[in-house]
Structure 1
Amino acid sequence: MRHAHIPYQKVTDMHLWQLCHLAMVVPIADAYYESDDPEKVEKEWKIMRKTAERLKRNFNFLRKQKGKLSPWKMNIFRFLPLSFLTIMLAVTFGSSFGDKFMYQHAMKAPDEMRELHKQFYAYMKRMKKCGCKTKKVL
């Protein structure tokens, strides 16, 4: 990988990394599906705010349950003020990055994303109910 100049990172807890990935991609996909015009969702401030709230809730929950997030930079969702996160989401959703890596995938895989939504939030509910901190429940 070093010779190919492809950025990479070793992950010691792949389960936690996958949970953090879902904590991010599920609310992003939900934003598109809740919009009347998914291509212009960045203009729907209520949806952008709801997405920001969901991201904060998901990452705060995982941090509380697991003791950390992976990668550590996901903590930005916990610490950014809600209003600033909402604006940043709108900018990201409206960018070419958002189109290429968020919109295209969400629109091409709605069944997969809805299943991930269902499973991720069911997992969170089970974790909350049992008070599990480090146990793998999925």
Structure 2
Amino acid sequence: MPYKTTWEPLGIIWKFYGDVTAEEIEEANIEFYKDERSDEARYQVIDALEVTDVEWNDVDIKEIAAQDKGASFLLHKLKVAYVSKDEKVTAVLKKYIEISRILNSSWKFKGFDELAPALKWAKKIKSKGKNKLS
């Protein structure tokens, strides 16, 4: 399994390593959706800084975006931060975001090339008109 999962009170952080396939992304998603903590999740941070290759074709990207679109009906306030410096990995993540936006996902997406700003952005949660860091 080329990823590590860390649950936090309001979200999840995945750290992916090495070559990552669409099946492994789907496995991480299933892990997230089956866990009752996902009901309260407000963010996901995908740390792909140590990913060396992604094996996602266009069909894989569309399928994962469509599955996440379905989930967005229940988790409509989720923020998703991607962290990558690799051009190929970043291109795949941008394509996923583009398809998710075409599908009118309610999730907010943002890409970063460093982890600290991604965590700061993801954890900045609006609550009753006020901003707070969780």
Q: Same fold (TM over 0.5)?
A: no
Q: Per residue, is there more strand in 1 or in 2?
A: 2
Question: Which structure's CA Rg is the greater one?
Answer: 1
- TM normalised by structure 1 equals 0.25
TM-score normalized with structure 2 length = 0.26
